[in-house]
Amino acid sequence: MRIRNIMLSVALTALLLSPSAYAEHEAVYSKLIETKSAPLVSVKMVLAIKLSFGGQVQEQEQNQTVPGIVVNSAGLVMVPASAFNPRLGIPPRMRNRIDVQATPSNLRIVWPGDTTEYPAILGAKDSKLGLAFVLMKDAAAKKDIKVLDLANTIEPKIGTRLYSVTRLGQGFDFAPMCSRALVAGQVTKPRTMWIVQGAGGSIAMPLYSAEGAVAGIVVNQTGVGEDADRRPFLLPLKVANPTVAGALKKAQDELERILDEEAEKAEEEAEAKKDEEEAAKEEGEKTDGDKKEDGDKKEDGGDK
């Protein structure tokens, strides 16, 4: 039924669009795919999951790959904060009874067409906005990093037609695609945001005007109250920009701490290895000395 509805919608659109409108439509899609797909990447990770229920503990690992977009030339990538939540399929009635802890490790950033997986860290998370930021451990390892242009902006209005540019998964060679969205309203709680239709698959991604200006970042938000639902909204750039700047500072501080820890650990391991080699050398010299002494004793006994 859903496929049938989609096909019907496509058919109706085709009937309503004139040849000139079709050409304009095609030009917008093609231009946005060509100019806006370069900063789109994938982030791979391993989640170490710990489940606690009724005094029992179960541990497992889960591999995840999520879409992201580079927002700074230092190698800062914005992803949905939900990317760090394990996919467990726990029934709703059981969720409050099971304690779930997930720790990410082995983060890697993947650029389409590049076989190298670049090591990264989780630098910052903003649970209120539902955004997380991953930072490359060595930004110099990747040349010519393309970044989302947050300087070219537009202030949307109700009725504004916007566009998202995303990628399919690795199984489809990370092919870029363009989708339309519509600004359908505005909310003021829990913060001022635009209501958008057609942007459900673009979480933590920007929406653009037809000319390529950034209108905001799509985020998932939960309303105020116990029974409030959760849905995508367009976060204004005046809120998103300070969040990105703050995330970069936090991520760089975290990276510095991690690199210091790794350097200290490497120094300790090198020192321990040196001690082992010296101990082995002393043991070898002692063994050689004992063998020589035994040989001397045998020779002395033979002379007698």
pLDDT, tens digit, 9 for 90 and up, residues 159-168: 999 999 999 9
Distance CA 252, CA 258 (A): 10
Query: How far is it, in rounded angstroms, from Cα 69 to Cα 27?
Result: 23
Number of neighbouring beta carbons within 10 Å of residue 34: 12
**Residue 19: predicted pLDDT:** 59
The answer to whether 164 touches 208, Cβ cutoff 8 Å, is: yes
- Is 0.85 surpassed by the pTM of this model? no
Domains belonging to the chain, first-starting first, are: 2-36+150-235 (2.40.10), 40-147 (2.40.10)
Query: Does position 196 have pLDDT exceeding 90, yes or no?
Result: yes
Give, in order, the Cα–Cα distances in Å from 284 to each of 270, 272, 279, 290: 21, 18, 8, 10
* Number of alpha carbons in the 13 Å side-chain half-sphere of residue 184: 10
Residues comprising the chain, all counted: 304
Label residue 45 by pLDDT band (50, 70, 90): very high
Rounded to whole angstroms, the Cα distance separating 25 from 70 reads: 27
Rg (alpha carbons) of the chain, rounded to whole number: 28
Q: How confident is the model at residue 169 (pLDDT cuts 50, 70, 90)?
A: confident
Average pLDDT value for residue range 262-287: 81
Average pLDDT on 203-218 reads: 95
Whether the per-residue pLDDT at 89 is higher than 80: the answer is no
